[in-house]
Amino acid sequence: MYKIKAVFIDRDGTINQEKEYVNRIEDFELIPGSLEALKLLTQHGVKIYIITNQAGIAKGFFTIEQFHRLTEHMIHLFKNEGIEIEKVLYCPHHPDGIVPEYAIECSCRKPNAKLLEDVIAENDYQTDEMVLIGDKNTDIEAGRRLGIRTVLVETGYGTQGKWTTSATFVRRNLKDAVLHILNLEEKEESHG
């Protein structure tokens, strides 16, 4: 069995509930099982990278400062639970944006893979050492372009995309996805 060293996880709809343009702390609500999933990854020594498109910045729905405040809240919440996040990778761009510096076509917005490529280059990860987990086929496509395993979760937009996905696997939620990639599904099921 291959040893997973790094997992790239989409944020909205995968870790937390999908609500249009989540940018306020009071709107940040974890999907059941997400904390346990992230704890399992940390306990198994897997590096966690959160990778998120944040078109709301380009579209003027919230500022980059508001995004950073929410990110700090999320990281603090996870740290208190013993979860280590290696890095939060985000794309603030969207070609239909109204904020001039972010209203562009870019190479970092999923399904483009620039953010992933940068992390891989910095850490010399091999394709079989990484997994990408997300709730949209744009997430899956970013991983597929780099030849890494992908898991589409059925939370967020995942139920809409599961019939047309090119994901390596489809799982109910982040916890099920993590149990699968850590090869713990059977052990977990046999305990209850």
For 75-82, what is the mean pLDDT? 97
Residue 155 falls within a domain, yes or no? yes
185 pLDDT higher than 70: no
- Which range of residues forms the domain containing residue 39? 6-190
At 10, which CATH number?
A: 3.40.50.1000
187 pLDDT higher than 80: no
Residue 62 falls within a domain, yes or no? yes
Number of domains in the chain: 1
46 pLDDT higher than 50: yes
Exposure string of 37-56, with b = 16+ CB inside 10 Å and e = fewer, is: bbbbbbeeebbbbbbbbbbb
Q: With pLDDT > 70 as the criterion, what percentage of the chain qualifies?
A: 95
Residue 50 falls within a domain, yes or no? yes
Q: Which pLDDT score is estimated for 163?
A: 87
For 185-191, what is the mean pLDDT? 44
Measured CA to CA, the distance from residue 42 to residue 188 in angstroms comes to 17
Q: Residue 70 to residues 2, 66, 77, 107, 162: CA-CA distances in angstroms?
A: 34, 6, 10, 24, 29
Q: Which pLDDT score is estimated for 188?
A: 41
For 34-62, what is the mean pLDDT? 97
Residue 166 falls within a domain, yes or no? yes
Q: Which pLDDT score is estimated for 131?
A: 97
192 pLDDT higher than 60: no
For residue range 116-170, list pLDDT tens digits in order.
999 999 999 999 999 999 999 999 999 999 999 999 999 999 988 888 999 999 9
For 173-183, what is the mean pLDDT? 96
In DSSP terms, which residues pair with 91 in a beta bridge?
Answer: 53
Residue 1 falls within a domain, yes or no? no
For 8-29, what is the mean pLDDT? 94
User: What's the whole-number average pLDDT of the chain?
Assistant: 93
Q: Which pLDDT score is estimated for 2?
A: 60
